[in-house]
Structure 1
């Protein structure tokens, strides 16, 4: 039943399937890297059970961070029918590749006991399409390690669901919504944040450039701490 559902993702969205290539990078535990260009930190290493990927053109100046893709390779003897669902957590360029996967993600492309054959190829032809993320929890906002209380605040959103990109983030200050700067990847920052519980507003851009908004009145407390993850009360489906 699981395989049937995954295969249907390719059938239903056949016109959205893209042909490309994928390779992999090594790490001690076969998961991702905590120093990825998206700014996710440890989340970028372990989210989705470590089945993550670096992307190049899909990075889209950081707005592609956190997107989910269903990817399968095209070698019938070695590649599984369903492929693997990976989360984009880093930037990476390869030999005409759209995906540089964690070892754990790349392994999932293979049929049982066939991973060694795929690793021997090094780079494989794949087809992929974007699919909704499903983390099973509300969006969270992490105070990035570059922050310096109370003078400088940088925020990175985690566990974004659905199939939309986080395009912008705003903070309520002086009776208006003020835009935060995209510092890098999916990290948004602001100098001299207000000394009060922080209301945050997030703009999502979905398929066909559909715009959606969500906000939380007390998303981050006044006495926020560097490295702490704060849960919001919303999620995009």
Structure 2
């Protein structure tokens, strides 16, 4: 009889410890506190020369709700990721905030985000509040990663202007969907299916010297926050006579 309370106490202690470990586990949808500012220019949209390599798309993707990131840039792996960002001043800020796409790298006075002016203002409750936020310059925020969504658009390959057929191939991946990262890319011959692992030169730009000949198939490795990975093979190939500046629809969407 004397042992029963001891057993109960030990079981209770174990339960409390397991409960504490569960509470300490990362919360995928929890908000993280930080600060944000906006691009110091008169253009409401993003920039066409961002470090992700999106070019003109970098200024207009997601309706111009874009951002540069500091630590979240992650040496380019963070390019294309989407975040819900909302400022925390209840006098001016909405509960919803704004969803932005990472298109550039940058930091300013311990901020995680440098938003386009359009995105910065969209955190506000109304137009007057947006003007006040822009005048503040830097605001306290909270953010969390959310899935990217581009309705009726597939992942697209844009051949970089610096490519030199057939000796050097560089391309950027547009319209990355879901909330997974593209962590590796392979280029494969469609007939022999011999594949070559590409280099991420910067941002979302992938390159190779002496690319395979003939029509080319791309394989993209998507990795999520839990460490799960999967290779995705587009429906459409890059044609044999690819040209700098051309864009090619892969025919696939990756929602996960």
C-alpha contact 2:29 2:144 (8 A) present in aligned 1: no
Unpaired stretches in structure 1, ≥5 consecutive residues = 1-12
Greater mean alpha carbon deviation, residues 138-147 or residues 62-71? 138-147
Q: 174, 183, 200: which is aligned to 2:201?
A: 183
In the other structure, the counterpart of 2:146 is: 131
Query: What are the Cα deviations for residues 122-170 of structure 1, in whole angstroms up to 9, with x where unaligned?
Result: 1000001000000112111110122112211001110011000010100
C-alpha contact 1:160 1:236 (8 A) present in aligned 2: yes
Q: Indicate whether 1:87 and 2:105 are aligned.
A: no
Q: How many aligned residue pairs are there?
A: 225
In the other structure, the counterpart of 1:216 is: 234
Greater mean alpha carbon deviation, residues 53-62 or residues 204-213? 204-213
Greater strand share, 1 or 2?
1
- 2: CA distance between counterparts of 1:14 and 1:154? 34
Q: Indicate whether 1:117 and 2:132 are aligned.
A: yes
In the other structure, the counterpart of 2:164 is: 148
C-alpha contact 2:236 2:251 (8 A) present in aligned 1: no
- 2: CA distance between counterparts of 1:15 and 1:51? 21
Q: 4, 21, 32: which is aligned to 2:46?
A: 32
Shift of the alpha carbon at 1:195? Answer: 2.2
Shift of the alpha carbon at 1:26? Answer: 3.6
C-alpha contact 2:79 2:204 (8 A) present in aligned 1: yes
**What's the secondary structure of 1:16's corresponding residue?**
coil
In the other structure, the counterpart of 1:194 is: 212
Check 1:94–1:29 CA distance in 2 against 1; reply closer, same or farther (3 A cut): closer
In the other structure, the counterpart of 2:64 is: 50
Per the normalisation by structure 1, the TM-score is 0.91
Per the normalisation by structure 2, the TM-score is 0.84
When the two chains are superposed, the root-mean-square deviation of aligned CA atoms in Å is 1.5
Q: 172, 176, 187: which is aligned to 2:188?
A: 172
- 2: CA distance between counterparts of 1:27 and 1:117? 16
In the other structure, the counterpart of 2:254 is: 236
In the other structure, the counterpart of 1:157 is: 173
Unpaired stretches in structure 2, ≥5 consecutive residues = 1-26
Check 1:15–1:161 CA distance in 2 against 1; reply closer, same or farther (3 A cut): closer
- 2: CA distance between counterparts of 1:138 and 1:217? 11
- 2: CA distance between counterparts of 1:192 and 1:217? 24
- 2: CA distance between counterparts of 1:231 and 1:218? 7
Higher Cα radius of gyration: 2
